[in-house]
Amino acid sequence: MGRQSRKYNPRSRTKRPIGLLDDANQSPSKPHPIPSKLGDRWFLPNPLAARLNQKSGLGVIVEEGISMEAIEVLFCHWNRHIPVAGDWVSAMLSTDDNFIAKAVVFDVARSGGEIVIPVGNLPPDRYPNNTFAIKWSRNKSHFKNEPLSQIRWFWASENVDWDELIDWVDQVLSDGSIPEVFVIDDEMDITMYRLDYDHLFGNQPQWENLSTKQVESVRTLMASKINTPSGCFIDNTVNWPLSSIGVEHLSGINLRGEEVEWLHDKLDSKITNKSLFAHLTDAGCVLRPGFKYGCKWRVYDDEVSKSHAPWLLQPISEAPKSWEQICLAVRLAEGVHKRWVCGMMHQDTWRFLNIKRWLPGRI
């Protein structure tokens, strides 16, 4: 089969060239000054500097101007007609091999019109060590209002340190901010995520709600089970009392291994099952295999016949190892209108970290 003709043009990639474009409608009538070295930062004089600081939150006020980080200089080159030397980027890369990535992340972070300030411009020890920049909403003053979010970035190929990432998320949330992660690939393209915790629960009957007669019925049926490679089969079941457990098939109930274990533990009242499966089932959820979606479980908050699964769940023990793998998991989940969550134990309680894609100025 030949390729089908396309009726749309591919998205153009931003090349971010170095060098000012002569645009009579936007270029200043008098060229702006070239930033000068000031320690490990860069200096711009007033009145231009004062305007950049007041309106755009760029730089730190110093005598007769502002000092800026190198990524702010490059942002101003691309967006504020500030000139730099032709070999300036090469010079920056010689001291920081991540300079291009940081500059692109900073540029994209401001693309929605928000105020974004590098942590190097803010009081030391105010924010978590791994926070890259702080962001304010477009319609909020960074002088008067608390920030909206905190940003950090990763290369797409980087491995994920889940313990460290969760610690950072917790610190950002405790500050009252939204954790945002910017992932940059080898094409210098950015994918953005927002992170938060979800509360997973459902409306299905719970074990504690069963009558004594129903419990004894389950006990009798389990005694007659036939083991299968994936769990067991119970023949000739009528009025099975647990809609969240088992799948009706061949006029009986098919149970997965984790469901069999959960039922045995419930029938043995001396055993307390603290597994992730038990926690969600006890919360009224329905868990079904997530093989088709590249995850451990599909999690329903209602009967499978009545609703779609709101969540795709992966336990942290089986979580993606890199940001490339996270991107794949989240993209698949959102492509079928579900939320991807990672389940983890914290202080004897299960938590569910949701990672969702986000676009500045649009979502």
Domain, as residue range, for 149: 98-194
Domain count, the chain: 3
Boundary residue ending a domain (194, 221, 255): 194
Residue 22 within any structural domain of the chain: no
In this structure, how many other beta carbons lie within 10 angstroms of the beta carbon of residue 290?
Answer: 19
Contact residues for 192 (Cβ-Cβ < 8 A; gap 6+) = 108, 180, 181, 182, 183, 357, 358, 359, 360
Task: Kindly state whether residues 270 and 189 are assigned to the same domain.
Answer: no
Task: Kindly state whether residues 187 and 113 are assigned to the same domain.
Answer: yes
CA distances in angstroms from 339 to 91, 237, 323, 344, listed in the order given: 43, 34, 17, 16
Residue 360 within any structural domain of the chain: no
Residue 17 within any structural domain of the chain: no
Task: Kindly state whether residues 216 and 292 are assigned to the same domain.
Answer: yes
Boundary residue ending a domain (48, 73, 96): 96
CA distances in angstroms from 28 to 14, 156, 267, listed in the order given: 23, 38, 79
Give strand pairing partners of 43: 36, 67
- pLDDT, one tens digit for every residue, the chain (363 residues): 456 566 667 777 778 888 876 665 566 778 899 999 999 999 999 999 999 999 999 999 999 999 999 999 999 999 999 999 889 999 999 999 999 999 999 999 998 889 999 999 999 889 998 999 999 998 888 989 999 999 999 999 999 999 999 999 999 999 999 999 999 999 999 999 999 999 999 999 889 989 999 999 999 999 999 999 999 999 877 778 898 999 988 888 999 999 999 999 999 987 788 999 999 999 999 999 999 999 999 999 998 988 899 999 999 999 999 999 999 999 999 999 999 999 999 988 999 999 999 987 654
Task: Please name the amino acid found at residue 205.
Answer: P
Task: Kindly state whether residues 178 and 281 are assigned to the same domain.
Answer: no
Q: Are 218 and 267 in contact (CB under 8 A)?
A: yes
Task: Kindly state whether residues 339 and 212 are assigned to the same domain.
Answer: yes
| Antiparallel, parallel or unpaired: β 60-62 and 286-289 | unpaired
Task: Kindly state whether residues 213 and 326 are assigned to the same domain.
Answer: yes
Residue 155 within any structural domain of the chain: yes
Q: What is the pTM of this model?
A: 0.90
Residue 116 within any structural domain of the chain: yes
- pLDDT for position 1: 47
- pLDDT for position 361: 62
- pLDDT for position 8: 67
Residue 11 within any structural domain of the chain: no
CATH assignment of the domain containing 67? 3.40.1170
CATH assignment of the domain containing 151? 3.40.1350.150
Task: Kindly state whether residues 216 and 309 are assigned to the same domain.
Answer: yes
